[in-house]
Amino acid sequence: MTPDLFPELPPQHKPEPEVIVPPALPTKSFPRRKFITGASLLTLGLGAAWLSLPKRRPSLKEVEQVILPPRQDNPTRQPQRSQVRVERSPLPGESDYRSFLATLDLRYISPNEIISPHIRERRGVSNELPPRELWTRMSATLKVADELRHRLGVKMRYITSAYRCPAYNAILAGAASRSQHMENRALDIVYDCSPRTAMIEARKMRDEGLFQGGLGLYSSFIHIDTRGRNATW
């Protein structure tokens, strides 16, 4: 028997690597109910803290960017009525009449308020300032209206009518054909009280002998004139 010259060598034995297992940490049981309760309290606490923080309100520009469409400039856009200032040319003789009215030394009635009703127009007919020869006739009536304003203790809102030129008086409904307005002796006035209250006080003044003239009661104003004789309607 021939000996095996190359006998089979046994395989080399490699030792297995040693696995080190760390010791288990001691555990402590935590009840599920306590965990849920704690989590709920923590959530509520965080929510309350967030609500207490100051909040920044969005600016108007930010809100417009979200809600409104982009603004486009319109070059043809007209200004609002309140922004429109109407310019007018002075009436013939207005500067001289204004100077005359200033010499009357009225306490409450300004020249502008007296001139204002002369600027009106009805059905294409414009009113005018009184002729120079009639200026002084309005003095007595203005002083009565000024004293009446003092006694009432309220403001005079405006004068609805003073002098009326014949053409302007003719187109007014209900205007007398021989109106004292055409003589520059009459005023229709709205005071900051009821017309009846103003009428009662005006009659007291006339009864005291402060003037002789006409007194008329209307729905929104009273009429005063100094025609030289008393008349009431």
> What is the signed CA dihedral for 132, 138, 142, 143, rounded to 10 degrees?
110
The pLDDT of residue 87 is 74
Contact 230, 203 (CB under 8 A): no
The pLDDT of residue 83 is 46
Exposed / middle / buried, residue 48 (Cβ in 10 Å: 0-12, 13-18, 19+):
exposed
Is residue 182 predicted with pLDDT exceeding 70? Answer: yes
Is residue 136 predicted with pLDDT exceeding 60? Answer: yes
| Banded model confidence at residue 101, pLDDT cuts 50, 70, 90 | very high
Model confidence over 47-86: pLDDT tens digits? 565 566 555 655 655 655 554 555 554 544 444 444 445 5
The pLDDT of residue 94 is 94
Which uninterrupted H or E stretch holds 190?
strand 186-191
Per-domain residue ranges for the chain?
Answer: 94-232
Task: Look up residue 6 and give its amino acid.
Answer: F
Contact 213, 227 (CB under 8 A): yes
Three-class SS state of 222 = strand
Model confidence over 12-33: pLDDT tens digits? 555 555 555 555 555 555 555 5
More confident residue, 147 or 31: 147
Indicate the CATH number of 94-232 among 1.10.260.40, 3.30.1380.10, 1.10.275.10, 1.10.3080.10. 3.30.1380.10
Report which of 194, 196, 193, 106 is spatially closest to residue 145, judged by C-alpha positions: 106
Q: What does the mean pLDDT of the chain come to?
A: 80
CA distances from 216 to 12, 13, 108, 118 (A): 141, 139, 22, 21
Is residue 123 predicted with pLDDT exceeding 70? Answer: yes
The pLDDT of residue 79 is 45
Question: What DSSP line would sit under 61-109, residue for residue?
Answer: HHHHHHHSPPP---TTPPPPGGG-----PPPTTHHHHHHHHHTT--SS-
